[in-house]
Amino acid sequence: MENTLYAPWRNEYVAGAKDQGCVFCNISENPTLDEEHHVLYRDEYCFMVMNRYPYTPGHFMIIPHHHTDALESLDPATWLHITALAQRGVRMLKESLGAHGVNIGMNLGRAGGAGIAEHIHLHLVPRWERDTNFITSIAQTRVYSTDFERIYLKLKEVLPSYLI
């Protein structure tokens, strides 16, 4: 029996024009496109952006402006800044989205599982008890339970209060 799961929001990714160069550098270098790219926040060190193909609602990444694939070569001040934002991001996900927990991680290099290996990035993935179901476990398919744009706008609205 063949099952079909429609995901029309992925059509832009599959059929759309591909960015030249590093996707994260493109976002970093084009602050006028922050709304289009779903950037939550940016400063002189890094930016926070929603993951376009999230594991769960509210999944975002913290990405340094500096293009590198090597965490060990990142300026320590930038790394400390990223981790400080991660602490605030965890609190925001728990308080504003009601996440029961948060997975934080980096996949370094293709062998480490990085989908975009050329530019390091830190994932923050909100989790809820019982957020895994049969379709995730058996069909290797994710179900996104809410509107991506709505979550982006909510996080963008509440984030400033977590940066204080």
| Residue 144 structure tokens | 């996104």
What one-letter code names the amino acid at 104?
I
Question: Is residue 121 annotated as part of the catalytic site, yes or no?
Answer: yes
Rounded distance between C-alpha atoms, residue 15 and residue 112, angstroms: 27
Neighbours of 122 (CB within 10 A): 21
Catalytic residue among 38, 59, 121, 123: 121
Q: Is 131 helix (H, G, I), strand (E, B) or coil?
A: coil
Instruction: Give yes or no for a contact between 102 and 55, defined as CB atoms under 8 angstroms apart.
Output: no
Rounded distance between C-alpha atoms, residue 67 and residue 13, angstroms: 23
What amino acid positions are annotated as catalytic residues?
Answer: 121
